[in-house]
Amino acid sequence: MLLNPADLQAIWLTIRLAALVTIILLVIGTPIAWWLARSRSRWKGPIGAVVALPLVLPPSVLGFYLLLAMGPHGPVGHLTTILGIGALPFTFWGLVLASVFYSLPFMVQPLQNAFEVVGDRPLEVAATLRASPLNTFFTVVLPMALPGYLTASILTFAHTVGEFGVVLMIGGNIPGVTRVASVQIYDHVEAMEYGQAHRLAAVMLVFSFLVLLALYAWRPNARKG
């Protein structure tokens, strides 16, 4: 057996986390990216900068603030307590919420770029062909921005798989709940289990390479917007 059950559990958890985060970000990233691509508001700059923050911020900083926010005395924690959900830190859903923030730019920026490439004209054409704005989005913008959606989804998924600092701050290290693959490797190394760390690390390496290969091999054939 290449990987022991704990490793497999960690990988399965990682995949579930990354898939969930990608789906959530597809839903909330689309309107944010759309607004950033289309708006002429003076808030466009500040909002764009906030969305990009996780790109430059150390994950521990982001994790620290999220921990405070989600803690029993933070605004998010307050809300979740009232709603009867309880505190989010050290739960799977806390990890999901933190990852959504952490991976936000990887979804929003490719989408924003794709929407900008689509431009105004197809929207105007659709309007003269009786399509309402919402209908235009689903029948014209979405198909034309499909390459952007694929890029954004792959990047978001891969980036969530690769997170470590935020997980440690928010999720800790609970097997089956918050112990993702990157944390599992860290544990193996801490416990001097270099053989097992090697195998899991190799799986991650191959995975990352395949993801990027898919992305780069496929991009040049992408239809131009």
Partner 1 sequence: MDRITARFHVTWPGFTLDLDLDLPGRGLTAIFGHSGSGKTTLLRCIAGLERAEQGYLSFNGEVWQDQKTFLPTYKRPLGYVFQEASLFPHLTVLRNLRYGLTRSKAEQNISLDHAIELLGIGALLERKPERLSGGERQRVGIARALAVSPRILLMDEPLAALDLARKQEVLPYLERLRDELEIPILYVTHSPDEVGRLANHLVALAGGSVVAQGLLAETLSRIDLPIRLGEERGVVLEGIVSERDEEWHLERVEFPGGFLWMRDRSTPLGHTVRVRIPSGGISLSRLPQQDSSILNTLAGVVEAIGEDDHPAHSLVRVRVGESVLLARITKRSAAALELRRGLPVWAQVKSVAVAQ
CA distance 215 to 223: 14
Residue 89: closest CA among 169, 180, 24: 169
For 49-136, strand residue ranges (E) read none
Q: Measured from the CB atom, is 135 or 208 closer to partner 1? A: 135
Q: Which of 27, 56, 132, 190 binds partner 1 (CB under 8 A)?
A: 132
109 to 128: interface string for partner 1, x by CB under 8 A:
------------xx-xxxxx
- Of 82 and 134, CB closest to partner 1: 134
For partner 1, how many residues bind (rule: CB under 8 A)? 20
**Nearest approach, Cβ of 131 to partner 1 (angstroms)?**
6
Minimum distance between the CB of residue 150 and partner 1, rounded to whole angstroms? Answer: 14
The rounded distance, in Å, linking the Cα atoms of 25 and 108 is 8
Q: How many other β-carbons are positioned within 10 Å of the β-carbon of residue 203?
A: 16
Residue 144 touches partner 1, criterion: CB under 8 A: yes
d(CA 180, CA 184): 6
Q: Which of 23, 46, 73, 135 binds partner 1 (CB under 8 A)?
A: 135
CA angle 68, 27, 171 (to 5 degrees): 30
Interface with partner 1 (CB under 8 A): 121-122, 124-133, 135, 139-140, 143-144, 223-225
